[in-house]
Amino acid sequence: MKAAIFHGPEKISVQNIAVPQINEFEVLVRIRVSGVCGTDVRIFVGEKTKGIRPDSVIGHEMVGIVEQAGSRVSGFAKGDRVGIMPVIPCLKCHYCLNGRENACANRKAIGYEFDGGFAEYVKIPQIALEAGNLVKLPNHVPFEQAVIAEPLACCINGNRKANIRMNDTVVVIGGGPIGLMHVQLAKISGARKVIVSELLEHRLGRALTAGADIVVNPQRQSLRDVVMQETEGLGADAVIMAIGVPSIVQECIELLRKGGTINLFAGFPKEAGCEIDPNFIHYQEVQVNGTTALTRSDYLTALSLIASGKINTGVLTTPGYTLDQIREAILDVKSGKGMKSIIHM
């Protein structure tokens, strides 16, 4: 089979390797579509290393068709259309037992400890099947839409932590695929007004298509002035940082009203630091939190939203890449040339 082998920072090559062999408790999935995530970019450039093995297959957004199911596997058979949740919780640690399986102390993941979706086939290990990480897709949902379920599930986790309520004003920093998922989820949660800050012109247009009420290019306008004007000087109820830029964290915090919430959704560069004014947090009683990964419940919710047509997936993606174009697909996400690169196997 063809697979994109990640050798180390900036080094990836498409090779012919053996199709994974499964045992009686495992499943082999033929990948139909994979998505390139901002995290894949961070892995590619060497900013994210935890769980990454040299000379392995990365990629954690993937959907496909069951090619073979082990003799002791129940519930799945050859030909089933399936989605794969990459993060495998242990279900036994303190965090799993207290409703935070996304932050599992012993978590493993497909695309990290196990070979991932930038390949024609992927093996689903026994622990993933036992945890419920393989799910059947609705027949009417195209693979190109279903592959969005994993990143959307992560955004649902972030949306929940951002405490968005009916009639809120929400600011989304970054108009990439993740930012525009947050735009749509904020609207579903009842936000009255969503303001998107983005530097790239083509993404500003997509933000409006996704449902943003106001778009701002911060190089041409003061985002703070726009937010204060739109909120009668109070500030936003919630700010979601969909880009990992440490230098603007304090500016984003200062967009909040008293009692507002900022969610640091994006991953930040390793060992990144920033200055935050603790007095602003103290006197304004604002909440600062972060988001990591997803829960299995979030994935099922995401899939349901996509299946019901509540999420515009087309505005989030740039389709048409092949596995041979993996480097281009990753670099186009890195540069912002496109949106989420969709790789067709």
pLDDT tens digits, one per residue of 320-341 = 999 999 999 999 999 999 999 9
For residue 275, give the nearest of 249, 239, 252 by alpha carbon.
Answer: 249
Model-level pTM? 0.96
pLDDT given for residue 238 in this prediction: 98
Q: Which fold has domain 2-148+313-344?
A: Quinone Oxidoreductase; Chain A, domain 1 (3.90.180)
Residue 201 vs residues 177, 219, 260, 341: alpha-carbon distances, Å:
14, 11, 29, 18
Q: Report pLDDT digits (tens) over 137-177.
A: 999 999 999 999 999 999 999 999 999 999 999 999 999 99
Joined tokens for residue 177: 């695929």
CATH topology (fold) of 155-290: Rossmann fold (3.40.50)
Residue 6's pLDDT is 96
Domain positions in the chain? 2-148+313-344, 155-290
Burial of 335 (0-12, 13-18, 19+ CB in 10 A): exposed
What confidence category does residue 48 fall into, taking pLDDT thresholds of 50, 70 and 90?
confident
pLDDT score recorded for residue 168 = 98
Given a cut of 90, whether residue 73 has pLDDT beyond it is yes
Q: What is the pLDDT of residue 117?
A: 97
Closest CA to 263 of 243, 290, 287: 290
φ, ψ at 97 (rounded to 5°): -75, -5
Q: Could you tell me the pLDDT band of residue 54, with boundaries at 50, 70 and 90?
A: confident
Average pLDDT for the chain:
96
Residue 50 predicted with pLDDT over 90: no
Q: Which of 54, 29, 40 is nearest to 125 (CA)?
A: 29
